[in-house]
A and B are shown apart, each in its own frame.
Chain A
Amino acid sequence: MNKYDWLLFMHITGAFLLVGGGVVAAALNMVALRRDRPSEILLLFGLTRIAVAAIIAGSMLAFVFGLWLVNEVGYGYGDAWIVAAIVLLILGNAIGGYAGSRDARTAKLAEQLMAQGDGPSAQLQARVRDPITLACNYGSGLILVALLALMIWKPGA
């Protein structure tokens, strides 16, 4: 294995962690949408932290080794598809991070409600199904798919 192979492997490992983490978060989020008890919602949101760690680690690996690959292969840092990929990666993380901060507040509310008897709450349901949070969560997922397409097609390369 030469240097290029190793760089590509690390870059793709980052991409797998990033998209895989997104899938884990989406799966747990979809289940939480259909639950009523605060303790169940808290549990599902708590498990999402593992996905968040994978997304952060994956983003960093994909970014750092992606830039290194650009230099190794001889692409230009100003190439349109590379600039677009960097913008999409930052945008996806920003939108996903914003949704994550809203989900964290929902988890805190679930924790309070659990301590008060763990009964269903209309307020908690509204927070879990908040359209802005859902749009941000699923929007960041779509951005990841677009990012993968960009990496494969490399328009203009």
Chain B
Amino acid sequence: MLALVRPDSWNLPLFVHVLGAMILFGATATVAIVGFAARSRSAHAELLARVALKTFLFAIIPSWIAMRVGAGWIEGKEFPDGDEPGWLGVGFAVSEGGGLLLIALGILGWVSVRRHGIGRAAVAVPVLAGIYVVALAIAWWAMSAKPG
């Protein structure tokens, strides 16, 4: 029930975009969950830091690429003249700006593993992941409600 009327040729790019975004949301939430859990479980902090880094490498990066490729693909079909509505800008702000945030998340995740899951990097990882989870929620609000 993602749209009332939509040409069939938009379905595959929309599927790639939405599936990528959903996996990205879950993977980023995983990093936030294990990162915050590590704060109160120092005996397992190193394990949880490794879980966060592996999730970043094997789930966040591929799903961000799928989400972004799908977004560009369907944008080209839906707005071929480049006359884009404002709500689309929210999505691009979250995907492009979020890309920079995710790079920082990956670097901090790597530093956190190097320091056995303790230190400032280990504290920053779940905070950044939490911020991105909220940003993704704002993006899916803009994408579904299409304000304006």
Q: Are B30 and A23 in contact (CB under 8 A)?
A: yes
Residues from chain B with a CB closer than 8 A to the CB of A145 are: 19
Q: Are B51 and A23 in contact (CB under 8 A)?
A: no
A40 within 8 Å of B (CB atoms): yes
Q: Are B22 and A19 in contact (CB under 8 A)?
A: yes
How many residues of A are counted as interface, with CB atoms below 8 angstroms from the partner's CB atoms? 38
The CA of A16 and the CA of B26, in the complex, are separated in Å by 8
Q: Are A20 and B26 in contact (CB under 8 A)?
A: yes
* Most-contacted residue by chain B among A6, A9, A22, A24 (CB, 10 A): A24
B14 within 8 Å of A (CB atoms): yes
How many residues of B are counted as interface, with CB atoms below 8 angstroms from the partner's CB atoms? 38
What 0/1 readout, one digit per residue, does chain A (56-82) give for beta carbons within 8 Å of chain B?
000000000010011001000000000
Contacts from A to B (Cβ < 8 Å): 1, 5-6, 8-9, 11-13, 15-16, 19-24, 27-28, 31, 35, 39-40, 43-44, 47, 50, 54, 66, 69-70, 73, 145, 148-149, 151-154
B52 (CB) vs chain A CBs: closest residue: A27
